[in-house]
Structure 1
């Protein structure tokens, strides 16, 4: 699978945008800038804003990172977004999700690996991804575990990552050769 857009290198960016690449690399322990960012950099003005929102959703919310990652892994699995799935598999492990849980994402409704809160979040992510419309029962189930702020943070994370996969998949963004599922 060849990417449909070029992966932009730092030197190809306008001078004012090079710092963004540097910051992304620093935030990832000096790792090379990932292909998702290099693809987004084809439109530097949008890339800056998209990255700012993504950063706030990852680092500026009160939503439990485990719940966030279970929601994002649900989005990645349902949309068959390999890039998303591989990258967030590793992030999921880092925030404390067990490998056994990740291996049972497809049967989360019946698997004993997940508690009711996790199921409610994954059910929301699945419905919002597949149908866009979310049933009253699914939304109300969130209220049993999350306050309004955390519900909105979940809604925005699922919406944002549905946008991400709709960039990754059509553009055929490739998983970096150095990135493997742990």
Structure 2
């Protein structure tokens, strides 16, 4: 952690900022505020916008769970953001249509082949990798998403999801939120 987390005691916040904090708490539910929330709350308006965006990405798209979680997990894996990878890998494991062999493909830094991923999952993995590594995505990868049946809405949602988690990973790594850099196992840091 490179900044101290905002205290759970919110007496330092204005009433407007307390309302922001309560909205974030409500979105998080019983798990309460995470390290990323308590870091972002040093800038409450940023925290509010962040929570709104990530809430939409996580809960308001038309994407199937396996597709959404691959789009989230790949930036986490490629950016070596362990604290984001862990909860999303667990969600990916529970997703319909995901196999243990498929998880192993998603875990690889540079998977050489599709393995047991279906064509849609593989297309999203390749697209997420291009967005994360090269940033400038080749038109052929967008065309591939279309070929495997994604609608324009779904392509926008996939793109927004990958972008949102690249955004999140870079924030978490820059400030070492939740001390995740040291917590990552050796295989993940490779």
**Structure-to-structure mapping, 1:70-89, within 5 angstroms:** 70-89=70-89
**Structure-to-structure mapping, 1:103-118, within 5 angstroms:** 103-105=104-106, 106=108, 108-118=111-121
Q: CA 1:94–1:24 in structure 2 vs 1: closer, same or farther (change >3 Å)?
A: farther
Gap regions ≥5 residues in structure 1: 177-182
| Residue equivalent to 1:53 | 53
Rounded to whole Å, the distance in 2 between the matches of 1:82 and 1:152 is 26
Instruction: Please give the TM-score of this superposition, normalised by the length of structure 2.
Output: 0.82
The answer to whether 1:120 aligns with 2:115 is no
**Structure-to-structure mapping, 1:148-159, within 5 angstroms:** 148-159=152-163
Aligned residues: 174
Q: CA 1:46–1:100 in structure 2 vs 1: closer, same or farther (change >3 Å)?
A: same
Q: 2:6 aligns with which of 4, 8, 18?
A: 8
Root-mean-square deviation (CA), in Å? 2.0
Instruction: Please give the TM-score of this superposition, normalised by the length of structure 1.
Output: 0.85
Cα offset, 1:77, TM superposition: 0.6
Q: In terms of mean alpha carbon deviation, does 6-15 or 52-61 score higher?
A: 6-15
Rounded to whole Å, the distance in 1 between the matches of 2:111 and 2:117 is 7
Which protein has greater RCO, CA pairs closer than 8 Å, 6+ apart?
1
Rounded to whole Å, the distance in 2 between the matches of 1:8 and 1:57 is 25
Deviations, residues 102-158 of structure 1 (Å, cap 9, x unaligned): 232215451422011101001000000001011121111000220000000111111
Rounded to whole Å, the distance in 1 between the matches of 2:105 and 2:82 is 17
